[in-house]
């Protein structure tokens, strides 16, 4: 494969995947296709935008005709599909946008890839449609272990021990049971991807990853929002009692898994991606507060008073936890960073990039780049 289309490459995870592929594979042509919604920012890729093997195309994945022409014009061999509406709270307010992009957009991309590849002499041979999805499609796990010991399990090492206790984890065989409009739209798109394999023989792979964190995440998501609010001495809105559990993975480890699976994954297969790193929200928030206070030179505990318990998110899933042993044993992937290192890196990045945060949240920044590209 030479010509790779990465959708959603101006977003959080997509920008890390684009950077990795552009720098690691100088022989590939990387086409980054992105609509540049509020979540997409070309500044996330400033360091690679002038590389000869990188092209940016502004487009909406739900535009079927446009997908057909882009895939044909760039003679695309492989697709890594990350473009999506990604924030649960937004999906609760505006489910239609999520259905349009995540469901209809994915379907348009599948159809356009199928038509183009079918028209080639080699057909589907050597082609791949790789769909990036979330663990949220599986629904919610119980907070407490069957043996009554309280969650969370909080470190990778102890979570691995939890497996021995038979605690619930999402595996690749877990039945889909999405609850939010976001996870329902992602579940639907996953089903369409598998349907295109089963019905038409399209070579596909689906991966379902746990919560990501790291640089360039839009500051509406928990970790960057809270770092930013602590810096500005603003309240930290904790949903419900802060007892929900999420399983956190550093974004560059997700990008490395995507690289590995894109090149060595089995067609038609599914892989769960996660680092056995569960945290109860309130415990994670205290780690963030401690780290930000330390790096800002505040006394320990200084920002704890910013914690503000607010009305819970409707339908708030209690716990996510990924069993990624299949990926680890079949392809040899494992996360490179301990959580404490990942959080330290992330907090340092946000504190050093205050201007990025101000730009993406003001909207000026996006308009500036859109103008720049429309004049090219």
Which residues ranging from 185 to 224 are in contact with ligand NAD (CB under 6 A)?
186, 209, 211-212, 218
- Kindly write out the interface string for residues 83-122 of this chain, putting x where it contacts ligand NAD by CB under 6 A and - elsewhere: xxxx--------------x---x-----------------
14 makes contact, choosing from ligand NAD, ligand TYD, none, with CB < 5 to 8 Å by partner type, with ligand NAD
Q: Shortest Cβ distance from residue 318 to ligand TYD (Å)?
A: 9
349 near ligand TYD, judged by CB under 6 A:
no
Q: Is 315 left (phi over 0), alpha (psi -120 to 50) or beta?
A: left
42 binding ligand NAD? (CB under 6 A)? no
Closer residue to ligand TYD in complex, CB, 93/376: 93
Q: Which residues are within 8 A (CB) of 232 and not within 5 positions of it... i.e. 6 or more apart? A: none
Whole-number Cα distances in Å, 230 to 158, 191, 200, 376: 29, 40, 51, 39
By beta-carbon proximity to ligand NAD, the closer residue of 105 and 215 is 105
Q: Report the alpha-carbon distance of residue 126 to residue 203 in Å, rounded.
A: 9
Q: Residue 56's beta-bridge partner residues?
A: 32
Q: Is 239 in the site for ligand TYD (CB under 6 A)?
A: yes
SS3 272: strand
Q: Are 336 and 252 in contact (CB under 8 A)?
A: yes
Could you give the C-alpha distances from 114 to 35, 66, 107, 261, in angstroms and in order?
22, 14, 10, 21
Contact between 365 and ligand TYD by CB under 6 A: the answer reads no
Q: How many residues does the chain have?
A: 376
Q: Which residues are catalytic?
A: 135-136, 182
The Cα 6–Cα 32 span in angstroms is: 5
Q: How far is the CB of 3 from ligand TYD (least distance, A)?
A: 32
Q: Is 225 in the site for ligand TYD (CB under 6 A)?
A: yes
Q: Which is nearer to ligand TYD, 204 or 212 (CB)?
A: 212
> Can you tell me whether residue 70 is helix, strand or coil?
helix
Instruction: List residues near ligand NAD by CB under 6 A.
Output: 7-8, 10-14, 34-37, 39-40, 60-62, 82-86, 101, 105, 132-134, 186, 209, 211-212, 218
Instruction: List residues near ligand TYD by CB under 6 A.
Output: 88, 211, 221-222, 225, 237-239, 244, 246, 281, 313
């Amino acid at each position: 494969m030479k010509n790779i289309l990465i959708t959603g490459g101006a977003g959080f995870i997509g920008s890390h995947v684009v950077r990795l592929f552009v720098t690691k594979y100088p022989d590939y042509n990387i086409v980054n296709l992105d609509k540049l919604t509020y979540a997409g920012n070309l500044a996330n890729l400033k360091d690679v935008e002038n590389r000869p093997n990188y092209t940016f195309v502004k487009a909406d994945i739900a535009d079927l005709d446009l997908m057909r022409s882009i895939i044909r014009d760039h003679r695309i061999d492989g697709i890594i599909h990350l473009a999506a509406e990604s924030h649960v709270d937004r999906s609760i307010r505006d489910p239609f946008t999520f259905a349009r992009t995540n469901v209809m957009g994915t379907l348009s991309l599948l159809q356009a890839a199928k038509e183009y590849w079918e028209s080639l002499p080699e057909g589907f041979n050597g082609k791949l449609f790789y769909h990036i999805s979330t663990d949220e499609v599986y629904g919610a796990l119980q907070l407490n272990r069957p043996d009554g010991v309280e969650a969370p399990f909080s470190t990778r090492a102890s979570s691995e021990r939890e497996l021995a206790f038979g605690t619930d984890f999402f595996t690749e065989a877990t039945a889909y049971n999405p609850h939010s409009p976001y996870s329902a739209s992602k579940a639907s798109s996953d089903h369409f991807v598998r349907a295109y394999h089963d019905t038409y023989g399209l070579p596909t792979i689906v991966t379902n990853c746990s919560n990501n964190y790291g640089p360039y995440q839009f500051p509406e998501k928990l970790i960057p929002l809270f770092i930013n609010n602590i810096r500005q001495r603003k309240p930290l809105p904790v949903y419900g009692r802060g007892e929900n559990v999420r399983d956190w993975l550093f974004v560059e480890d997700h990008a490395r898994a995507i690289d590995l699976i894109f090149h060595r994954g089995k067609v038609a297969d599914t892989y769960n991606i996660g680092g056995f790193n569960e945290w109860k929200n309130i415990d994670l928030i205290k780690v963030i507060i401690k780290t930000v206070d330390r790096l800002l030179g505040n006394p320990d505990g200084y920002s704890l008073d910013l914690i503000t318990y607010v009305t819970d998110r409707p339908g708030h899933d209690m716990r996510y936890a990924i069993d990624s042993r299949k990926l680890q044993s079949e392809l040899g992937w494992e996360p490179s960073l301990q959580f404490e290192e990942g959080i330290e890196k992330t907090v340092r990045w946000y504190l050093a990039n205050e201007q990025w945060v101000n730009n993406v949240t003001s909207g000026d920044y996006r308009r500036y780049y859109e103008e720049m590209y429309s004049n090219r």
